[in-house]
Amino acid sequence: MEIAIPQPVERENYLNKEYGVWSWLLTTDHKRIALLYLVSITFFFFIGGFFALLIRLELLTPAGDLVQADTYNKLFTMHGMVMVFFFLIPSIPAVLGNFLVPMMIGAKDLAFPRINLLSWYLYIIGGVFMLHCMLTGGVDTGWTFYAPFSTNFSNTKIVEAGIGIFIAGFSSILTGLNFVVTIHRMRAPGMTWSRLPLFIWAHYATSIIQLLGTPVIAVTIVLVACERALHLGIFDPKLGGDPVLFQHLFWFYSHPAVYIMILPSMGVVTEIIACFSRKRIFGYSFVAFSSIAIAVFGFLVWAHHMFVAGISVYSALVFSFLSYAVALPSAIKVFNWTATLYKGSIRYDAPMLYAFGFLGLFTIGGLTGLFLAALGINVHVTDTYFVVAHFHYIMVGGAVMGYLGGMHFWWPKISGKLYPEGWARLAALIVFIGFNLTFFPQFVLGYLGMPRRYYDYSHMPEFQVLNVLSTAGATVLGVGYLLPMVYFLWSMRYGKPASDNPWNAAGLEWKTTSPPPTFNFDEEPVVTWEAYNYEELDAPPHTQEVPVAR
């Protein structure tokens, strides 16, 4: 048994074990790879955010006066592609998941450390294609690539962007594969499935989607490239193809992809809520299996993006029905989180503020999904700003809130430093206000009928007020996103050193040092407790006399 030395000056950890560029670029340590991902996705997040800002500025006035029509079309296309494929999909899994999955289950690393590094290189290669594509002209099809516009009409760099996404897709598949194998095979002794943190369940469900869904978008991209180059007539009606077939293939991946973004975020929020209310999660197994249910049902609802695309009334009915089926597990999660707060001992530290923000925004995003799944309403609001608002509430309000919450929660573990709590709370508040100001007016705009992807709305100047509000919100939101980056960087140099478990949180990742050693644990942990054993953690050392709740 080693003796713990208090505040060792230079205890060896994964950050200071080796130095130099190659020690990072050739690392197989899941934690270092997580940081490589963190830097790269942050880079792409700010590129995507810059495009978003230009979009909002253009929409400040009805006339198309800031950029040209083609430029605007490229802006929203690149915004979508960058944010979806190069930020949201890798965000939580590749950064927090990579860092935490092995630690949470008591493993030394992922099952395939070199494949993990390969996945980052694939991501970077895909990203380089994307960047090159952007810098040399970009793409104007929208991130949805709808045929036959993408296959026969657009003269932009579709194949190059497609190659970028195709390659980045393999990065996503490999990460999913790695997680599935790791979670099955590398759990520490005693870490049974029912003792897994719900973060792990969420990542397990996510990985299944990544494994099964991503190949379909790869196939779709190949078909688009073939159609462009060889005119095979898959999607082109003049050659006997069917453009609606493209939409089926595209959404077969791209709808489940939404769950790749939101499920890990749900996992993060579950951990945070348990920790800051000092409780085990209410209805553990319901929260766990709702993740699996979302992954399964998520594959069966793709055509709800196509209710006006020319599918039959009866298939629309089936897909509408199934969309309500997939809404239920999300509702169950929200209710269980809420119930977890009951009789808790709740603290309002920054991660918890983000989790509260997530709850509010995800609830609005989820409930407006009920509108879109209702066939009669869908016809009116699909392809309008109502949809734009809805999916931003899920993918930005939900996924990014969760991501930021997770970054704050585990930052002491990742960096070994504490960030300034006051600034972090302020940032959470700014993001919440900025987000709602940006996207809530868009629900109203959408029901009024403003279509998506319009750079010029001088035909309908009555939409301006709401657009001005939205643009104002976007600037606030931008500040809210910049702040954490600034104080995280600041804390790396000036932050106070973090203890091993600053939140007194449950979970194996808190039982090792901050930052952890390269192989995570000095000794292989043996798990003898259930997940979220806050009762034991909070038990006073000597006496059991303290009154229990109310």
Partner 1 sequence: MLNNFPLWPDQASTMAHRVDALYIFLLVVTGMMALLVCTCVIFFAARFRHRPGVRAEQIEGSIPLEITWSAIPLLVFMVIFAWGAVVYFKERTPPADATEVYVVAKQWMWKVEHAEGQREINELHVPVGRDVKLIMTSQDVIHSFYIPAFRIKQDVLPGRYTVEWFRATKPGVYHLFCAEYCGTQHSGMVGDIVVMEPAQYEAWINGGTTGPLSTTGEKMFAELGCATCHRTDTQGRGPNLLGVFGKPVQLEDGRTVTADENYLRECILDPGAKRVKGFQPIMPTFQGLVSEEQVNALVAYIKKISTADQSDGAKTSASKAISQATDRAQPNQAQPNQAQPNGSQVQ
Among the listed residues 225, 252, 228, 254, the one whose alpha carbon sits nearest the alpha carbon of residue 239 = 228
Residue 463 near residue 457, CB atoms below 8 Å: yes
Residue with Cβ nearer partner 1 (46 or 286)? 286
CB of 163 to partner 1, least distance (A): 22
Q: Is 189 in the site for partner 1 (CB under 8 A)?
A: no
CB of 363 to partner 1, least distance (A): 5
Residue with Cβ nearer partner 1 (52 or 322)? 322
The Cα 241–Cα 545 span in angstroms is 75
The Cα 119–Cα 122 span in angstroms is 5
DSSP β-bridge partners for residue 384: 451
Residue with Cβ nearer partner 1 (135 or 548)? 548
Residue with Cβ nearer partner 1 (411 or 457)? 457
CB of 160 to partner 1, least distance (A): 19
Residue with Cβ nearer partner 1 (6 or 540)? 540
Task: Map the footprint of partner 1 across residues 305-334, applying CB under 8 A.
Answer: 307-310, 313, 316-317, 320-321, 324, 327-328, 331-332, 334
Torsion sign, CA atoms 405, 184, 299, 235 = positive
Residue with Cβ nearer partner 1 (4 or 308)? 308
Q: Is 245 in the site for partner 1 (CB under 8 A)?
A: no
- Binding segment (CB under 8 A) for partner 1, from list 4-12, 138-146, 169-177, 398-406: 138-146
CB of 146 to partner 1, least distance (A): 6
Q: Is 178 in the site for partner 1 (CB under 8 A)?
A: no
Residue with Cβ nearer partner 1 (448 or 492)? 448
Per CB under 8 A, the list member of 464, 492, 511, 519 interacting with partner 1 is: 464
The Cα 64–Cα 74 span in angstroms is 14
Residue 162 near residue 143, CB atoms below 8 Å: no
What is the pattern of x (binds partner 1, CB under 8 A) and - over residues 517-536? -----------------xx-
Task: Pull the structure tokens for residue 343.
Answer: 């009789």
Task: Map the footprint of partner 1 across residues 33-92, applying CB under 8 A.
Answer: 64, 69-70, 73
Task: At 416, give phi and psi (nearest 5°).
Answer: 75, 10
Alpha helices in 59-189 (DSSP H): 69-81, 89-90, 98-104, 113-135, 158-185
Q: Is 243 in the site for partner 1 (CB under 8 A)?
A: yes
Residue with Cβ nearer partner 1 (23 or 285)? 285
Over the range 466-497, which residues count as b (16 or more CB within 10 Å of their CB) and which as e? bbebbbbbbebbbebbebbeebbeebeeebee
Q: Is 24 in the site for partner 1 (CB under 8 A)?
A: no
Over the range 36-47, which residues count as b (16 or more CB within 10 Å of their CB) and which as e? bbbebbeebbbb
The Cα 98–Cα 116 span in angstroms is 9
CB of 468 to partner 1, least distance (A): 8
The Cα 517–Cα 102 span in angstroms is 13
Per CB under 8 A, the list member of 212, 453, 492, 499 interacting with partner 1 is: 453
Q: Is 28 in the site for partner 1 (CB under 8 A)?
A: no
Q: Cα 291–293–294 angle (5° rounding)?
A: 65
Per CB under 8 A, the list member of 11, 440, 456, 490 interacting with partner 1 is: 456
The Cα 34–Cα 285 span in angstroms is 29
CB of 332 to partner 1, least distance (A): 6
Burial status of residue 168 (CB atoms within 10 A of its CB: 0-12, 13-18, 19 or more): buried
Q: CB neighbours (10 Å) of residue 525?
A: 19
Per CB under 8 A, the list member of 148, 357, 398, 402 interacting with partner 1 is: 148
Q: Tell me if residue 320 falls in helix, strand or coil.
A: helix
Residue 123 near residue 87, CB atoms below 8 Å: no
CB of 376 to partner 1, least distance (A): 3
Task: Map the footprint of partner 1 across residues 344-383, applying CB under 8 A.
Answer: 344-348, 356, 359-360, 363-364, 367-368, 370-371, 373-380, 382-383
Task: Map the footprint of partner 1 across residues 465-484, applying CB under 8 A.
Answer: 465, 468
How many residues line the site for partner 1 (CB under 8 A)? 102
The DSSP string of 61-82 is SSS--SS-HHHHHHHHHHHHHI
Residue with Cβ nearer partner 1 (42 or 363)? 363
Task: Map the footprint of partner 1 across residues 382-421, applying CB under 8 A.
Answer: 382-384
Task: Map the footprint of partner 1 across residues 92-131, applying CB under 8 A.
Answer: none
CB of 443 to partner 1, least distance (A): 10
Catalogue the long-range contacts made by 17-23 (C-beta closer than 8 Å, 24 or more residues apart): 17/517, 17/518
Per CB under 8 A, the list member of 283, 420, 502, 517 interacting with partner 1 is: 283
